[in-house]
Copies of this chain bind each other. A is one copy, B any other.
Amino acid sequence: MPKTKDKNKAAEHLPEIEIFKDYIRRKGLRFTPEREIIVREIFEIHDHFDVDELYLRLRNKGKKLSKASIYRTLPLLIDCGLIQEVYHEDGHMHYEHVYGHEPHAHVRCLECRKVEEFTDQRIKEIEEHISKEFGYRLTGLRFELLGYCPDCLKKQYLS
């Protein structure tokens, strides 16, 4: 078997796909080609993404599936804990991977609109505190800090 085939094989066994398949079957749903294409594409994006970006990436690769299918697949991926809504901006929702990512916060510059990620041990501590103290079973978090980045502060847009 040629090497390239091996590579492709490896790509087919993304843990995300397996988790999705398990979820789909547990729910009595169907693992369709459309869903597979969408999920694979999402996990090739290594950044925040939105429906339009995902749709255009697929179109550019010649995959002609409808936006309706994307809109229908996203809640499934959220439900099985693979992705989550991160923030609503420019009139639509933005998503990010969850599986394999540590809980983290986003710092957003209100001037240049850049978003940076950072982790802090205290985020987990707070989660644990809430779980134990309030009796919640936590499945996700969104943490966003808003302000102005050093570059924009330097450029004297703001003082």
Contacts and interface: CB of A to CB of B under 8 A. Distances in A.
A31 interface: no
Interface residues of A toward B: which range?
Answer: 35 or more
Contacts of A141: 143-146
Interface stretch (A18-26, A33-41, A56-64, A120-128): A120-128
Given A88-B93, A105-B126, A127-B145, 9 more contacts: A84-B146, A85-B88, A88-B88, A107-B138, A109-B136, A120-B129, A138-B147, A140-B147, A141-B144
Interface of A: 84-85, 88, 93, 105, 107, 109-110, 116, 118, 120, 122-123, 125-127, 129-131, 134-150, 153, 158
